[in-house]
Structure 1
Amino acid sequence: MIIAGVMSGTSADGVDVAVCRITAGPDAASPRVKLLRYSSFAYPKAVRAAVLGAMNAEDISTAELARLNWRLGEIYADAVSKACAAANVRGKSLSLVGCHGQTVYHQGIAAKYLGAEVRATWQVGEASVIAERLRVPVVSDFRPADLAAGGQGAPLVPMLDYVMFRSEKVSRILQNLGGIGNLTALPAGCSADGAMAFDTGPGNMVIDGCMERLYGKHFDRGGAVGRRGGVLTDVVQEVLRRPYFSAPPPKSCGREEFGSSFVDGFISRCRKVSTSDADVVATATALTAESVLLGYRSFVWAHVGQAAPLAKVEYVVAGGGAKNAALMDMLREGFGALGVKVRVMEDLGVPAQAKEGVAFALLAWLTWHRLPGNVVAATGATRPVILGKVTF
């Protein structure tokens, strides 16, 4: 099957489309995945503003959310059409679309609401619009089934990590640095039950938020600003004392923890120590690096060492953060001191920013074949479940 995986992450910078060929492997846990083409499309400025507004707003009208849902459906359909044309996939060659949608709210931990314990997640981008425009079935809304089964609905990428990147000889940690950072730890020779996965904390989200406020730019291109500034170590250590970072996996986070309000407070903390804008961005960059290193030292090191103590360990970075040279230098220095080699996803044959699109193509394939897509060791669900809803 040729499947287009569509991802728009918490950075809300645009739409990634991975056009893939997926075929059955020797068993249900081993489908063969080949990336045919990766394309990326920036959101129009007004759309990005509306998406960020929906994520961060305490008060937004139902009408605005409904309109945004339908507008994103059109944008996703257009992105898939262009990506398929670029991949020379035309006519009826496209079999299926797997669309994650745009997360506007995610609460993986149950909390009291109207007299009951409730978990909630909401991704927008109308699947019916995509199915009608492209005339192919669409699998969407992947997270709720895992939440309903007692999981946190995230992370979902570990299934792809296990299928494509597990090794008999090498222990691999697959770190994605999108808006939020998340990792999958695969000890050498592990089964899916042996994987560990969780959100490490902010990826690019806080860096991007500081760049927006201080420089009027969406992100720190190449880490240039972060490299100019000095890291305010006390601020980093103060943030890392927040309960999220010491909480054991499985765990997930999002803009609810590290979005607009957090960025405002973070800048205020930095301003008490330095008046330099570059120092703020450098400190945000260090926060991401140190949260990743803390997650590894606190939870992953023992897990990998106990499962495969003699195996070589590789730390493989994907997502937009892999393009931030300042961040990557911090990670290489920190992991080098631990004897761990840092690589980028391209070394394993997948472009750094294509990985999540490929993941949702795979999850759509699994759903279409009525196979579970969650890794219970990653999400904390009570059982493996089939993810998503199919729209014809």
Structure 2
Amino acid sequence: MKPPQPKPLLIAGVMSGTSADGVDVALCRISPALRTETAPRLKFLGHRSFAYDKKLRAMILSIAAGNNTTAAELSQLSWRLGELYADCIATTSRELNLKPQLAAMHGQTIYHQATAAKFLGVPIRCTSQIGEAAVLAERLRIPVVNDFRPADLAAGGQGAPLVSMLDFCLFRHATKNRVLLNLGGIANVTVLPAACTSADVLAFDTGPASILIDLLMQQLYNRRFDKDGAIAASGQVLKPVLHRLLTTPYFSAPVPKSCGREEFGPAFAHQLLALCKQAPKQDVIATATALTASTILDAYRRFCWPHLGQHAPLARATELIAAGGGTKNLTLMRMLTEGFAQLGVKVSTTANAGLPVEAKEAAAFALLGWLTWHHLPGNIPSATGAAHPAVLGKITYAS
């Protein structure tokens, strides 16, 4: 089938991340590159955020943690999420008075295994995101692109991070190095050397961002998160515990790499808590927050700095631009800002470029949906480790 001629589309990008705290919808107008450009153009039009209710979130987290469930419950959850995502898009469209022509849905990750493990005697790598696309297509009467990660994984990639395509299209600079940091449940970076091509891009998950802090806040304080990082700010970092956790093999493993709740979920939180012994609760939260900051800084020194020196040795400056819910944690951002200042790196957020920190991932999947619709690759092989560029996702049409 002949690919459709690239044209401008108004797309609803839908993201629900590892933290399973809710849904972000971003409406974006995406247009083909002009003759002098090398990447599509994205105009951010607006976004809305929607929190999961307690029962829905509890079921998602239970399944993601590997607790027993039934095939019926898993199917029911996928369809329930489809209904919820459709409602979120409809509400966003109504409030912004904009009608999307296409929806691009990441879905809710319930399992991600980028490293091969034997299953029934055969080494298997796999990933699973749920949320029934047919429900969105029927309710909204527009086509839906979903299930973006498998094509990259099948091509030998990590299936993540996929937000690197947006980073490359929007943030690369002729004379400055830029590192894009996303602070969701998991932290990931995209490294853009000055004047880079897509082949020069490096991206990987550095480790936990908010996931550990949130899990420990729920266990110790019965709160969903540390608002503004206030609890962490009141505590002391337990340095022996921090140094012990920094020896976790993932942090020194070579790139590209990806991780999730499987590596840094409840079991890792339990390990951290056990190491803290009888320490005050606020010290536990301060230590978890410091672990996120320390692993990001370590990843920069270990992997990003050498990559930038190799590909853009004459760049005038390096900037780190952060996004994601973790940017609202003022203690975490202070730790990062102070740590990167010692390395000569200025820290800012995507809000300074007109893209709200909560909307970036949803906007990224709007872009990926546009690429898929036009039969264009959405992964960056140098970022994910895939053997070749791949058209990502599956399309469900409105009947």
Q: TM-score, normalised by structure 1?
A: 0.97
The 5 Å alignment of 1:133-212 reads 133-212=139-218
Cα distance in 1, alignment partners of residues 132 and 318 from structure 2: 41
1:151–1:380 CA contact under 8 A, matched in 2:
yes
Q: Secondary structure at the match of 2:196?
A: coil
2:43 maps to: 34
Kindly state the Cα deviation for residue 124 of structure 1 after the two structures are TM-superposed: 0.4
Instruction: List alignment gaps of at least 5 residues for structure 2.
Output: 1-8
Cα distance in 2, alignment partners of residues 387 and 237 from structure 1: 39
Give the one of 96, 100, 124 matched to 1:87: 96
Give the one of 279, 282, 285 matched to 1:278: 282
> Which stretch has the larger CA shift, 14-23 or 306-315?
306-315
2:60 maps to: 51
Asked if 1:381 corresponds to 2:377, the answer is: no
Cα distance in 2, alignment partners of residues 335 and 3 from structure 1: 35
2:84 maps to: 75
Give the one of 16, 19, 25 matched to 2:24: 16
Q: Tell me the number of residue pairs that the alignment of Structure 1 and Structure 2 aligns.
A: 387
Kindly state the Cα deviation for residue 29 of structure 1 after the two structures are TM-superposed: 4.2
What letter is aligned with 1:338?
Answer: L
1:269 maps to: 275
Cα distance in 1, alignment partners of residues 14 and 213 from structure 2: 24
Identity of aligned residues (%): 55
Instruction: Spell out, residue by residue over 1:307-359, the C-alpha distance to the aligned partner (whole angstroms, 9 max, x if none).
Output: 11232100111101111000001001111111111111111221011100000
What letter is aligned with 1:381?
Answer: A
> Which stretch has the larger CA shift, 258-267 or 220-229?
258-267
2:305 maps to: 301
Cα distance in 2, alignment partners of residues 243 and 67 from structure 1: 37
Cα distance in 1, alignment partners of residues 200 and 59 from structure 2: 40
Cα distance in 1, alignment partners of residues 20 and 179 from structure 2: 25
Kindly state the Cα deviation for residue 235 of structure 1 after the two structures are TM-superposed: 1.1
Instruction: Spell out, residue by residue over 1:125-151, the C-alpha distance to the aligned partner (whole angstroms, 9 max, x if none).
Output: 000001100000000000000111111
What letter is aligned with 2:340?
Answer: F
What letter is aligned with 1:291?
Answer: T
Q: RMSD value over aligned CA atoms?
A: 1.0
Asked if 1:107 corresponds to 2:116, the answer is: no
Give the one of 339, 345, 350 matched to 1:345: 350
Q: TM-score, normalised by structure 2?
A: 0.96
Instruction: Spell out, residue by residue over 1:45-100, the C-alpha distance to the aligned partner (whole angstroms, 9 max, x if none).
Output: 111111111101342211111110000000000000011112211xxx32100000
1:29–1:104 CA distance, 2 compared to 1 (3 A): farther
Asked if 1:6 corresponds to 2:14, the answer is: yes
Asked if 1:313 corresponds to 2:322, the answer is: no
Cα distance in 1, alignment partners of residues 265 and 124 from structure 2: 22
Q: Secondary structure at the match of 1:313?
A: strand
Give the one of 126, 132, 135 matched to 1:126: 132
Cα distance in 2, alignment partners of residues 357 and 174 from structure 1: 15
Q: Secondary structure at the match of 1:364?
A: helix
Instruction: List alignment gaps of at least 5 residues for structure 1.
Output: none
Cα distance in 2, alignment partners of residues 131 and 301 from structure 1: 44
Kindly state the Cα deviation for residue 237 of structure 1 after the two structures are TM-superposed: 1.4
What letter is aligned with 1:43?
Answer: Y
Kindly state the Cα deviation for residue 152 of structure 1 after the two structures are TM-superposed: 1.1
Kindly state the Cα deviation for residue 188 of structure 1 after the two structures are TM-superposed: 0.4
Asked if 1:256 corresponds to 2:262, the answer is: yes
Instruction: Spell out, residue by residue over 1:150-204, the C-alpha distance to the aligned partner (whole angstroms, 9 max, x if none).
Output: 1111110000000011110111000000000000000000001100000000010
Q: Secondary structure at the match of 2:162?
A: coil
1:37–1:86 CA contact under 8 A, matched in 2:
no
1:62 maps to: 71
1:240 maps to: 246
Q: Secondary structure at the match of 2:101?
A: strand
1:358 maps to: 363
Runs ≥4 residues deviating over 6 A? none
Cα distance in 2, alignment partners of residues 152 and 316 from structure 1: 23
What letter is aligned with 1:323?
Answer: K
1:372–1:384 CA contact under 8 A, matched in 2:
yes
